[in-house]
Chains A and B, each alone.
Chain A
Amino acid sequence: MSKIVDPKEFSRESREPLIKIKLEDLLKLEGLKEEPPIKDPPAAWTQRYDFTLDGHAAVGIPIPKNEEEKRVLVEKFLKGLEKDLSYEGNWTFAQQFKLSLDYCVKCGACEEACPIYTASGKQNIYSPLYRSEILRRVYRKHFTTAGKLFGTLVTGDIDENWQLITRLIELSYRCNICRRCAQVCPIGIDNGLIAREIRKIASQELGIAPKELHEKGTVLQLKVGSTTGMNPEGFKKIVKMMEEDIESKTGLRIKIPVDEKGADILLIHNAGEFLSWPENPEAYAIIFEKAGLSWTLSSEPVGYDSVNYGVWYDDIQLARIAKKHVEIAHKLGVKRIVVGECGHATKALVVTAERLLTKENYIPRESVIPILAEIVDKGKLDLDPLKNDFPVTLHDPCNIVRLSGIVEPQRKILKKIAPRFREMEPHGVCNYCCGGGSGFAIIHSYNFDQWKNKVASRMKVKQILDAFRQELNDGSFKYVCAPCSNCKGEIRDFISHYKLWDKFRINYGGLAELVVNAMNEVKNPFIQKDEFH
Chain B
Amino acid sequence: MILANFVAYAAYLSFVFCVVMTILKVSKYARAPMHLRWELYPVPSEEEHKHGGSYLERPEWWKTDIKEEKGSELIDMLKEMIFIKRLYNSKRTQWYFSFLFHGGIYLLLIWFVAIFIGSLFELLKITSGIIFTVFFYASLVLGYMGIFATFIGAVGLIALRATDKRTNYLSAPVDYFNLSLISLIMLSMVFSLFYDPYFNYARSFLAYLISGNGLLIYFKQPALPVTSYVTILLVCLFLLYLPFTKMTHFLGKYFTYHKVQWDSRPNMVAGRFDEKKSELIKKNLEFTVPWDAPHAPKGKKWNEI
Binding site for B on A (CB under 8 A): 1, 4, 6-7, 76, 79-80, 83, 86-89, 91-96, 98-100, 102-109, 111-113, 122, 124, 127, 129-130, 133, 145-146, 150, 152-156, 179, 182-190, 193, 203-207, 214, 219, 315-317, 319-320, 323, 336, 350-360, 362, 364, 366-367, 370-371, 373-374, 401-409, 428-430
Residue of B nearest to A134 (CB): B170
Q: Which of B161, B171, B281, B295 contacts A355 (CB 8 A)?
A: B281
Binds A, one of B110-118, B135-143, B285-293: B285-293
In the bound complex, what is the Cα–Cα distance between A236 and B29 (angstroms)?
49
Binds A, one of B7-15, B54-62, B181-189: B54-62
In the bound complex, what is the Cα–Cα distance between A216 and B222 (angstroms)?
76
Task: Say whether B172 contacts A356, CB under 8 Å.
Answer: no
What mask results when residues 81 to 114 of chain B are scored 1 for a CB within 8 Å of chain A, else 0?
0001011011100100010000000000000000
Q: Indicate whether A429 sits within 8 Å of B42 (C-beta atoms), given known contacts A93-B35, A316-B289, A320-B305.
A: yes
Task: Say whether A99 contacts B86, CB under 8 Å.
Answer: no
Residue of B nearest to A196 (CB): B38
Q: Indicate whether A95 sits within 8 Å of B35 (C-beta atoms), given known contacts A186-B84, A206-B293, A354-B266.
A: yes
Q: Indicate whether A94 sits within 8 Å of B56 (C-beta atoms), given known contacts A109-B87, A359-B273.
A: no
Residue of B nearest to A155 (CB): B172
In the bound complex, what is the Cα–Cα distance between A225 and B290 (angstroms)?
27
In the bound complex, what is the Cα–Cα distance between A360 and B277 (angstroms)?
12
Give every chain A residue within 8 A of B177 (Cβ-Cβ).
Answer: 153
Task: Say whether B174 contacts A154, CB under 8 Å.
Answer: yes
What mask results when residues 248 to 289 of chain B are scored 1 for a CB within 8 Å of chain A, else 0?
110011011101110010111000010101100110110111
Residue of B nearest to A6 (CB): B169
Task: Tell me whether B125 is interfacial, beta carbon within 8 Å.
Answer: no
Residue of A nearest to B252 (CB): A103
Residue of B nearest to A158 (CB): B172
Give every chain A residue within 8 A of B302 (Cβ-Cβ).
Answer: 91, 319
Q: Which of B48, B90, B296 contacts A405 (CB 8 A)?
A: B48
In the bound complex, what is the Cα–Cα distance between A127 and B170 (angstroms)?
11
Residue of A nearest to B43 (CB): A405
Task: Say whether B296 contacts A86, CB under 8 Å.
Answer: no
Task: Say whether A354 contacts B37, CB under 8 Å.
Answer: yes
Task: Say whether B249 contacts A428, CB under 8 Å.
Answer: no
Q: Indicate whether A354 sits within 8 Å of B41 (C-beta atoms), given known contacts A188-B253, A316-B289, A362-B273.
A: no
Give every chain A residue within 8 A of B165 (Cβ-Cβ).
Answer: 1, 4
Task: Say whether B173 contacts A153, CB under 8 Å.
Answer: yes
Q: Indicate whether A405 sits within 8 Å of B172 (C-beta atoms), given known contacts A356-B36, A356-B281.
A: no
Given A109-B90, A358-B278, 14 more A-B residue pairs with CB atoms under 8 Å apart are: A87-B32, A89-B291, A93-B36, A96-B38, A98-B29, A99-B260, A153-B177, A156-B172, A323-B305, A351-B39, A355-B267, A356-B36, A408-B48, A428-B51
Task: Tell me whether B212 is interfacial, beta carbon within 8 Å.
Answer: no
How far is the CB of B6 from the nearest CB of chain A, in Å? Answer: 26
In the bound complex, what is the Cα–Cα distance between A409 and B86 (angstroms)?
27
Give every chain A residue within 8 A of B65 (Cβ-Cβ).
Answer: none
Give every chain A residue within 8 A of B166 (Cβ-Cβ).
Answer: 108, 111, 122, 124, 127
In the bound complex, what is the Cα–Cα distance between A317 and B296 (angstroms)?
9
Give every chain B residue within 8 A of A359 (Cβ-Cβ).
Answer: 267, 273, 275, 278
Residue of B nearest to A83 (CB): B290
Residue of A nearest to B160 (CB): A107
Q: Which of B48, B87, B246 contacts A104 (CB 8 A)?
A: B246
How far is the CB of B35 from the nearest CB of chain A, in Å? Answer: 5
Give every chain B residue within 8 A of A127 (Cβ-Cβ).
Answer: 166
Task: Tell me whether B80 is interfacial, beta carbon within 8 Å.
Answer: yes
Task: Say whether A402 contacts B40, CB under 8 Å.
Answer: yes
Task: Tell me whether B134 is interfacial, beta carbon within 8 Å.
Answer: no
A-B contact pairs, 15 of them (CB 8 A): A99-B29, A106-B175, A109-B91, A112-B90, A182-B261, A205-B296, A206-B293, A316-B297, A355-B36, A364-B62, A405-B42, A405-B43, A405-B264, A406-B53, A408-B57
Task: Tell me whether B167 is interfacial, beta carbon within 8 Å.
Answer: yes
How far is the CB of A175 from the nearest CB of chain B, in Å? Answer: 15
Q: Which of A99, A113, A316, A430 contacts B252 (CB 8 A)?
A: A99
Interface of A is mostly: helix
Task: Say whether A107 contacts B91, CB under 8 Å.
Answer: yes
Q: Which 9 A/B pairs are nearest by Cβ-Cβ distance? A: A405-B54, A188-B256, A429-B52, A156-B172, A95-B32, A207-B293, A103-B252, A405-B41, A204-B291
Task: Say whether B35 contacts A351, CB under 8 Å.
Answer: no
In the bound complex, what is the Cα–Cα distance between A242 and B53 (angstroms)?
34
Task: Say whether B244 contacts A183, CB under 8 Å.
Answer: no
In the bound complex, what is the Cα–Cα distance between A152 and B60 (angstroms)?
54
Q: Which of A107, A189, A316, A366 contacts B305 (CB 8 A)?
A: A316
In the bound complex, what is the Cα–Cα distance between A341 and B302 (angstroms)?
29
Task: Say whether A102 contacts B252, CB under 8 Å.
Answer: yes
Give every chain B residue within 8 A of A187 (Cβ-Cβ).
Answer: 249, 252-253, 256
Task: Say whether A182 contacts B40, CB under 8 Å.
Answer: yes
How far is the CB of B158 from the nearest CB of chain A, in Å? Answer: 13
Give every chain A residue within 8 A of B248 (Cβ-Cβ).
Answer: 103
Give every chain A residue within 8 A of B38 (Cβ-Cβ).
Answer: 93, 96, 190, 193, 352
Task: Say whether B60 contacts A364, CB under 8 Å.
Answer: yes
- Among B29, B36, B252: residue with most chain A CB under 10 A: B36
In the bound complex, what is the Cα–Cα distance between A124 and B282 (angstroms)?
43
In the bound complex, what is the Cα–Cα distance between A15 and B46 (angstroms)?
51
Give every chain A residue within 8 A of B33 (Cβ-Cβ).
Answer: 87, 91, 94-95
- Among A107, A150, A155, A352: residue with most chain B CB under 10 A: A107
Q: Indicate whether A352 sits within 8 Å of B37 (C-beta atoms), given known contacts A107-B87, A109-B94, A113-B90.
A: yes
Task: Say whether A153 contacts B172, CB under 8 Å.
Answer: yes
In the bound complex, what is the Cα–Cα distance between A350 and B39 (angstroms)?
12
Give every chain B residue within 8 A of A316 (Cβ-Cβ).
Answer: 289, 291, 295-297, 305
How far is the CB of A308 from the nearest CB of chain B, in Å? Answer: 12
Give every chain A residue within 8 A of B172 (Cβ-Cβ).
Answer: 152-156
Task: Tell me whether B34 is interfacial, beta carbon within 8 Å.
Answer: yes
